[in-house]
Amino acid sequence: MKRYSAFAIAREALRYHSGWERAWRAPEPKAKYDVIIVGAGGHGLATAYYLGKRFGITNVAVLEKGWLGGGNTGRNTTIIRSNYLQDPSAAIYEKSRSLYEELSQELNYNVMFSPRGVIMLAQTQHEVRGYLRTAHANALQDVKTEFIGPAKVKELVPIIDIDGPRYPVLGGLWQARGGTARHDAVAWGYARACSAMGMDIIQKCEVKAIRQQGGKVTGVDTTKGPIDCDQLGIVVAGHSGVLAEMAGFRLPIESVALQALVSEPIKPCMDVVVMANTVHGYMSQSDKGEMVIGGGTDGYNNYTQRGSFHHIEETVRALIETFPMISRLKMLRQWGGIVDITGDRSPILSKTPVEGIFINCGWGTGGFKAIPGSGWGMAELIAKGHSPLTEAFSLDRFREGRFIDESVAAGVAH
Ligand code: FAD
Ligand code: PYC
């Protein structure tokens, strides 16, 4: 893989950009791999990357039914933060946030990590108490957050209406090193690095069945034919239940649509990320100037990558209460993704009842921020059979009642 650098740009400028190579290869599948990962979203690609990088396991295929990054990874509002409540969550989300700090250098690919700061607004007394509790927990976990008052919120976000008609801003949970990154670039950067290690990323290759013998996985049947493997990672977000059914077990998970929209581009007006969880909206401004807006999940299970219409109206109406200026903006595009939600709003990173099959899912409305940390831990789980980062997130917790309740930190209305 040729390194991207200022020197490379200058060199290619002089030879009419004829020397750039494909970012990743487009191979046909081999008959067998040591590890197959199903799903070329951020989590699947990061898992493959750290398998190679940390454990030298490179006979790996990542199978993707569509195009890589075309699932939730390329559809989210890119918010990165680690202000969760419980210790196992703080560990994996903060590991992830810290990996984001260096990810562009690590992958030699600009993922445009922008630690511009994230505020979760407190607009009810209940939220004030919840976020104060989180700030105290984060202090013990060495996650840098603080509870700030309304004056400081106004200073950070001049366009906000602190005295909103229904829900005045009472303060907020502020994480100064939270922020955003370019979602496609995260997938593309990991894909390029995986391909450079010799891994095969195979797009338009849908897994249709999972084969096993004597309780152990032996391979998958795909739209490009059968492929054998010793180990299988299922990393398919909203389709996790479908793949689990192929393997013969059930997951405590629901799939629903979550949607987002962007406005026309405007001049810079807000240089932090704001989540207003009581009124069900969150907003940041993209580098192009568009206001990036998201709302709550659909109230019923579905597999549409669109979301229900009334949500657009509700999200915009809610945000206008807190940001009156957006009432004058035209909205340009809207889309949805299928998110995989567990009862305790925490992910599942786990072995499964089938030997050799591992599952990484349940990131729900909040897994973009977790991509590097999840890949780091999941690779260790597959390579070594256990990982301190993933231990608490095993499937057993649902049987044993060890829930990791993150319904406040999840932030998005479910
Ligand atoms: P995906 O990116 O969905 O990848 C799974 C892949 O599996 C897909 O590409 C799919 O095509 C493939 N697949 C499925 N079935 C098969 C099969 N049978 N064979 C082969 N391939 C298959 N998180 C945040 O942290 N911050 C946010 O601001 C944020 N905002 C969001 C806003 C929206 C509108 C949405 C929808 C989500 C948001 N999220 C956010 C959540 C985040 O996007 C997801 O948690 C994360 O992207 C999940 O990544 P993934 O790799 O697990 O899944
Ligand atoms: O998890 O921070 C988050 C988030 C914001 C919008 C959707 N998810």
- Looking at residue 195, its pLDDT comes to 98
Ligand 1 midpoint to CA 55 (Å):
25
Non-local (6+) Cβ contacts of 393 within 8 A are 88, 92, 346, 347, 348, 349, 350, 362, 404
- What does the block give as tokens for 93? 């989300």
Tell me what pLDDT residue 309 has. 84
Q: Calculate the average pLDDT of the chain.
A: 96
Q: Which of 96, 190, 308, 365 to mutate to test the pocket of ligand 1 (most atoms within 8 A of CB)?
A: 365
Ligand nearest the Cα of residue 336 is 1
- Residues of the chain falling short of pLDDT 70: 411-414
Q: How far is the CA of 188 from the centre of ligand 1 (A)?
A: 14
What is the pLDDT, as a whole number, of residue 165? 80
Ligand 2 site residues (CB inside 6 A) read 77, 79, 81, 275, 282, 294, 365-366, 411-412
Choosing from 73, 77, 121, 283 the residue with most ligand 2 atoms within 8 A of its CB, the one to mutate for a pocket test is: 77
Give the 3-state secondary structure of residue 261. strand
What's residue 1's pLDDT?
Answer: 83
Q: Rounded distance, CA 410 to CA 414, Å?
A: 9
**Ligand 1 atom nearest 246 alpha carbon:** 18
Q: In 194-305, which ranges are E strands? A: 200-202, 207-213, 216-222, 225-234, 253-265, 273-276, 281-285, 290-297
What is residue 33's predicted lDDT score, i.e. its pLDDT? Answer: 99
What is residue 413's predicted lDDT score, i.e. its pLDDT?
55
Quick one: tokens of 222? 């795909």
- pLDDT for 299: 86
In this prediction the pTM is 0.97
Phi, psi angle pair for 85, to nearest 5°: -95, -45
Atom 44 (ligand 1) nearest CA: 367
Q: What is the pLDDT of residues 178-230, one digit of tens each?
A: 999 999 999 999 999 999 999 999 999 999 999 999 999 999 999 999 999 99
